[in-house]
Homo-oligomer: A and B are copies of this chain.
């Protein structure tokens, strides 16, 4: 900066003013400074700046092992939104998901003086890790169902589960079986609640749900058992990967989809349109979740007016049913 000032024949002070777009600089001076900056390829030292402004412009993100489609997409959404607003993203990916690991990750990020956190928190353990954070930096959770204290943005899982189940009931199925995700996932919980609500509302029998681990294998194993019960005509599976396994188990057992059994998934991963048969499923707008999560955090950071920030309504992103050919009317 000293070099730039010298070349432009001004004080380093004025260079700073130009850099920060302060109004009180003569146009001609500004041009000269700009030229000097270009010529020298000068780049402001971010550490020095952060030291004095007490702002690093860095948002810490605690992400998940990204083999899961949802968390991976959410991370991308968060990144785009943050960059659009001029923030940097420092990411830690959780390997083991325990409250301690979450705290450790946040602690690690704190070393880098992040201004706030976005935590992808679809599991209960993550939300618990959030609970007893040393106050100070704002935290926004994303994909986390109902969290007591932490501001949260998520897709309407209950609504999505309801949508899927309602779709099957509307096709004339007497009831709908469910293959849920792991019970410590808040998303799994939301989806099962939506399923139950739709059944209750329709006065349908509520069969005992089964629980998988999100992976195709578990959907397959449960599917093998479901295939053995000829009374079953409709299954709502809590994610597309498990639904894939279920489809495979049904096919192997000679159960036709959708003629004998209708199947609905959840997530709308890129592959699901090409399953055998193409899967009816529930799509989530992860990009929007990321955008709102970052928006909420930035509101908190910049305390735009009232402390209430975004109204709760803006924090729930609706789910959307995508109808393909794995579902059909129940046989009479």
Which residues of A pack against B, CB within 8 Å?
41, 43-48, 50-51, 56-58, 65-67, 72-73, 75-76, 79-80, 83, 88-93, 95, 108-113, 134, 215-217, 219-220, 241, 244-245, 247-248, 251, 270-271, 273-276
* Residue numbers in B under 8 Å from A90 (CB-CB): 58, 88-91
User: Across the interface, do A48 and B46 meet the contact criterion of CB distance under 8 Å?
Assistant: no
Known A66-B66, A73-B66, A108-B83; judge A245-B274 contact (CB<8 A): yes
- Cα distance A305–B90 in the bound complex, in angstroms: 30
CB distance from A16 to the nearest CB of B (A): 16
- Cα distance A60–B110 in the bound complex, in angstroms: 18
User: Across the interface, do B271 and A251 meet the contact criterion of CB distance under 8 Å?
Assistant: no
User: Across the interface, do B46 and A111 meet the contact criterion of CB distance under 8 Å?
Assistant: yes
User: Across the interface, do B113 and A46 meet the contact criterion of CB distance under 8 Å?
Assistant: yes
What are 13 contact pairs spanning A and B, CB under 8 A? A47-B50, A58-B112, A66-B73, A67-B76, A79-B91, A83-B92, A89-B91, A215-B270, A216-B274, A219-B274, A244-B271, A248-B274, A251-B276
* Residue numbers in B under 8 Å from A217 (CB-CB): 273-274
- Cα distance A44–B73 in the bound complex, in angstroms: 34
* Residue numbers in B under 8 Å from A109 (CB-CB): 88
* Residue numbers in B under 8 Å from A91 (CB-CB): 79, 89-91
User: Across the interface, do B134 and A41 meet the contact criterion of CB distance under 8 Å?
Assistant: yes
* Residue numbers in B under 8 Å from A273 (CB-CB): 216-217
* Residue numbers in B under 8 Å from A112 (CB-CB): 46, 57-58, 88
User: Across the interface, do A66 and B58 meet the contact criterion of CB distance under 8 Å?
Assistant: no
* Residue numbers in B under 8 Å from A274 (CB-CB): 216-217, 219-220, 244-245, 248
- Cα distance A275–B272 in the bound complex, in angstroms: 11
- Cα distance A73–B44 in the bound complex, in angstroms: 34
User: Across the interface, do A45 and B51 meet the contact criterion of CB distance under 8 Å?
Assistant: yes
Q: Closest residue to A252 on the B side, CB-wise?
A: B276
- Of A80, A216, A241, chain B has the most CB atoms within 10 Å of the CB of A216
- Cα distance A19–B109 in the bound complex, in angstroms: 18
Q: Closest residue to A95 on the B side, CB-wise?
A: B80
Q: Closest residue to A248 on the B side, CB-wise?
A: B274
- Cα distance A134–B38 in the bound complex, in angstroms: 13
User: Across the interface, do B79 and A93 meet the contact criterion of CB distance under 8 Å?
Assistant: yes
- Cα distance A45–B54 in the bound complex, in angstroms: 10
- Cα distance A43–B88 in the bound complex, in angstroms: 21
- Of A110, A113, A134, chain B has the most CB atoms within 10 Å of the CB of A113
* Residue numbers in B under 8 Å from A56 (CB-CB): 46-47
- Cα distance A244–B83 in the bound complex, in angstroms: 34
Task: Please pick, from B66, B67, B241, B270, the residue contacting A241 in the complex, using a CB distance under 8 A.
Answer: B270
User: Across the interface, do B79 and A73 meet the contact criterion of CB distance under 8 Å?
Assistant: no
CB distance from A304 to the nearest CB of B (A): 24
User: Across the interface, do A65 and B76 meet the contact criterion of CB distance under 8 Å?
Assistant: yes
